[in-house]
Structure 1
Amino acid sequence: MSHHRLTPRMRTLLASVARSRQPAIHTLTPVEARSRYGAMAEVLDLPRVPLARVETLEIRTHHRCAARLYASRPAEISKPLPVLLYLHGGGFVLGGLETHDSLCRQIALRSGVAVLALDYRLAPEHRFPAAVEDVWAALQWLINGGATFLGLDSTRVAIGGDSAGATLAAVAALMARDADLPLAMQLLITPGTAADLDSASHQRFGEGF
């Protein structure tokens, strides 16, 4: 394992993690892991920047899902913002609206688009394909009128996420393609898109990071 390509701050962080001797997250119960993940999720993030529009809402489709809307300016009927449906990471078991609040605020601030973060159902309480069903329902809702209801541009809808959320985003993008639903783009941050673990990056970074 080599950390020579990392920034000094990241090397310091990994050293601190190693010294803490915390149990590996996969050895914890879901409740324990969620608590730890929630406490550590925004350690490296910027402070939660204030935005003109931050609204927690509920999307009612086949299942009610909480969501949070972020935008750097108020709704304008004459020039509605495009919207990114964002899906948090956490191995399909961890994470939620709070763990990714700072990140979603930064995306909305720096991109100029609205971000709608979805609190999709988590395993093991909700087995596959519950998360996929929630994401697909929310994406259809946005494109078919939900974005307009929120004062956003339903003709410019994108989907994205990180880690497990990025995997869900990739799946939903394929479903949208097959259903002829137009997507402006997809944003995939460290997605899991293959079942094998033998790539060069897995061999180089699979342990100790």
Structure 2
Amino acid sequence: MADEPSADVRSVLDHLSDMDRPETHELSPKRAREAARELGADDPVVEVGTVTERVISGPSRGIPIRVYEPASDGPSPAVVFFHGGGFVYGDFDTHDPVCRHLTNDADVAVISVDYRLAPEHPFPAAVEDAYAATEWIAANADALAADVDGERLAVAGDSAGGNLAAVVALAARDRGGPEIRHQALVYPVTDFRASETYPSYEENGEDYYLSAADMAYFRDHYLDSWVHPTNPYCSPLAASSHADLPPATLVTCGFDPLCDEGIAYAESLDAAGTPVTHRHYGDLIHGVVNMVAPPLDVTGGREIIEDIATDLREALD
């Protein structure tokens, strides 16, 4: 681990401090959603081939999806993307830049899924939507207004979305679901059972954008019963087996409360014989893949996206 965050991370942290923004855990879910949208409101648009939206069938309502198609000739492999935001906030627009960069860098069609959010829709609503969307895309790629190859399929996500991508991979194995060729998990939540026992929660629990108090806030909104944390579709690290899963890219950052549980998941995959590329960025913080445009501009955020894109290209080629 680096002794200090990178210079551009420190600049971002200083900028956020100067803005005197409330901590996420101090906000209502509604205000947290507004604040997340405001933070990236001025991000410049990265051009891709086409962007379309539609609503697909879901377990209890239609699920909105946004399809980013590269400018290259198709059919393009499909990457089903789940946004972060602690299961409480996040939407198409908060993660529009990362989806656009990933589309271009990996030369894939990225399908962003607008799953239901807590606390209005606690666990397992997000999981049900994420899995249903992946199933639908695998079975109905030819129905999309894009040139997408549903047989070359991966899942990806950051933070809460990384949790959902890991859970979808587990569920697809357990349920005989879609064949997923790769899972790209960016600083994922993997263990709700006793998160605070991981040393990285104490070491990085304050002053590095995502705090331990924020994670408690997200957990309390997402999980409405003490029963849920041991469910592997809530805490993928709790699964009885991590064998026979899609090859994974797992990203961890040195100044992130979630660092240790991400490392633990990478180690569990590896021990079970699931191929895993663990990409660790010692001087970065949680959330950097969304910090790829001024004033929140971290070179490492683009590096992570480019590295994930390399792994996806190799897996889906």
Structure 1 length as normaliser, TM-score? 0.89
Structure 1 residue 148, shift from structure 2 partner: 2.5
Choose which of 188, 193, 197 in structure 2 pairs with 1:191: 188
Structure 1, unmatched stretches of 5+, are none
Task: Show CA shifts across 1:128-156 (max 9, x none).
Answer: 21111111111111122x22222311211
1:114 aligns to what? Answer: 109
CA distance in 2: counterparts of 1:21 and 1:60, whole angstroms? 41
Corresponding residue of 1:17 = 16
- The separation in 1 between residues aligned to 2:70 and 2:109, in whole angstroms, is 7
2:141 aligned with 1:143, yes or no? no
- The percentage of counterpart residues that share the same residue type is 38
In the TM superposition, residue 199 of structure 1 has moved relative to its aligned partner by: 2.9
Partner of 1:85: 80
Deviation at 1:192, TM superposition (A): 0.6
Does structure 1 conserve the Cα–Cα contact (< 8 Å) formed by 2:53 and 2:66?
yes
Mapped pair 1:159 → 2:183: no
Aligned AA (1:66): P
Select which of 94, 118, 121 maps to 1:99: 94
Letter in 2 for 1:177: R
TM-score when normalising by structure 2: 0.60
**Count of residues in correspondence between the two structures:** 202
Structure 2 Cα separation of the partners of residues 113 and 19 of structure 1: 38
Partner of 2:292: none
Q: Unpaired segments of 5 or more residues in structure 2?
A: 209-317
Kept after mapping to 1: 8 A contact 2:76/2:108? yes
1:10: how far off? 1.5
Coordinate RMSD, CA, aligned: 2.0
CA distance in 2 between counterparts of 1:134 and 1:91 reads 16
The alpha-carbon deviation at position 57 of structure 1 amounts to 1.2
Distance 1:185 1:94 in 2: 26
**In 1, distance between residues paired with 2:184 and 2:116?**
21
Is 1:66 aligned to 2:64, yes or no? yes
Aligned with 1:183: secondary structure?
A: coil
Q: Quick check: 1:75–1:152 contact (8 Å CA) kept in 2? A: no
1:28-43 superposed matches below 5 A: 28-41=27-40
Q: Residue 47 of structure 2 corresponds to which residue in structure 1?
A: 50
Aligned equivalents of 1:172 and 1:42: distance in 2? 30
Deviations 1:28-65 (A, max 9, x none): 1111111111111467x6x3211111111111233201
Cα deviation, residue 20, structure 1: 3.0
Shift of 1:23: 1.7
CA contact (8 A) 1:69 1:114 kept: yes
Question: Does 2:160 match 1:170?
Answer: no
More off after superposition, 29-38 vs 67-76: 67-76
| Change in 2 beyond 3 A, CA 1:42/1:88 | farther
Tell me the CA shift for residue 107 of structure 1. Answer: 0.3
Q: CA deviation at 1:18?
A: 2.3
Indicate how the Cα distance of structure 1 residues 69 and 184 shifts in structure 2: closer, same or farther if over 3 A, else same.
same
Per-residue deviation at 1:66?
1.0
Kept in 2, the 8 Å contact 1:160–1:188? The answer is yes
